[in-house]
Copies of this chain bind each other. A is one copy, B any other.
Amino acid sequence: MSRQLFLWMTVIALWNTSVIAQQAMGSGAGTNSPEIGEDYSVTFRLDAPHASEVKIMGDWMPANGWVPGSEVMEKDEKGVWFHTTKPLEPELYGYSFMIDSFRTLDPNNPFVSRDVAILTNIFMIGGGEAELYEVNAVPHGSVVRRWYNSPGIDMERRLTIYTPPGYENSVLRYPVLYLLHGAGGDEEAWGELGRSAQIMDNLIAQSMAIPMIVVMPNGNVSQEAAPGEGSEGFYKPQFMVPGTMDGTFEEIFPDIMEFVESSFRVKAEKSFRAVAGLSMGGFHSMHISRYYPNTFDYVGLFSPAILPYQNRTAKAYQDIEGTLIRQIENGYKLYWIGIGKADPLYNNVLDYHYRIEAMEMPHTYHESDGGHTWKNWRVYLSEFVPQLFR
């Protein structure tokens, strides 16, 4: 291109961002962070010459109980702090910096994921199990954010739906996986933190999964949409959203199914329905699948928040044993439980495993390494989905 056009493009490009953005671009433009080396070690750099101490906290570092792992960074002669990891395994990683006790993001990395109210920088070491999380040169499904009416609570609510490649140009009907988030999550969580669209695209392309629709609703009943996407506007999200574990979500779950089955070309039969979820979503999946006991042939409980048995007043939590027995009698194809050995819920999930084993309830119990983490939930999804609708 001509030099003049090039200059023009530069000028226009500069104009095209806010002045705030430009100043920041200027100050950090020369800093490359994170830089992934050929041996998959990763170098982080932070241009903060006035700081006394900078630490990096990354989820590849071993945590000490509730205290995350961290490393003190070194400072070069220009005031740029740096740290290089050992070679890392393929995975999607999160990290942040601590500058003189102030937690901050990497200004040179615009990729973040939000978990409840916190943004964390992310990067990926590709290949291995992370190959499923990458956007590869395979056919891509579509991801739509739609609103549906939930008559059970008289509310318009937002959900995310993945349709597989070819859905729009086909007359086929597809099976459906209902995929539920954990406490503090919403209809964005499985897509953003769980890489669900990439996992589905890749599993389908490898013929590891049957093409299916994946429905990712919002499990916080009082919340019409993810924070910032609803009429409440922008507010600081909290862990504790009313109506997430009081039985209401289980009661109104048919509203979601009715919307999906009337709005998408789906196979509206038990043998083509799956429900799975992580943590609170595993709790929801357990209760939904027995409360509507002849509805799902496939159930996935990922690190499920199985609470101790106790009296709960909500109708959806009554007669757990009786409904589980009905679920056994009605039959199903797969009841899959995954839990990490380091998960604080480990003992509860193990108890549940023993309990339903004693009831001779058929199920697959899968223990993995690690804890209550998205790393495990991505892996569980990748292991669960290939078993569906066969």
Contacts and interface: CB of A to CB of B under 8 A. Distances in A.
A137 B154 CA distance: 13
A379 interface: no
A105 B103 contact: no
Interface string A304-317: 01011011100000
Q: Which 8 A-B pairs have the closest CB atoms?
A: A13-B239, A144-B144, A50-B100, A13-B183, A21-B118, A140-B147, A19-B68, A16-B182
A24 B66 CA distance: 12
Interface residues of A, number: 114
A143 interface: yes
Contacts of A41: none
18 contacts: A5-B245, A10-B240, A16-B279, A18-B68, A18-B374, A19-B59, A20-B94, A20-B95, A23-B57, A25-B117, A48-B100, A110-B237, A111-B234, A126-B233, A135-B230, A140-B147, A168-B263, A169-B263
Interface of A: 1-2, 4-5, 8-25, 27-28, 32, 47-52, 57, 59, 63, 66-68, 94-96, 99-105, 107-112, 114-120, 122-124, 126, 134-137, 139-140, 142-147, 156, 158, 168-169, 182-185, 225, 227-231, 233-234, 236-237, 239-240, 244-246, 263, 279-280, 305, 307-308, 310-312, 343-345, 372-374
Nearest to A34: B234
A175 to B, nearest CB: 20
B107 A103 contact: yes
A8 B310 CA distance: 12
Contact of A12 (B22, B63, B119, B183): B183
Given A19-B67, A27-B103, A102-B104, 7 more contacts: A10-B239, A11-B344, A16-B239, A21-B116, A28-B103, A48-B100, A126-B233
A382 B358 CA distance: 63
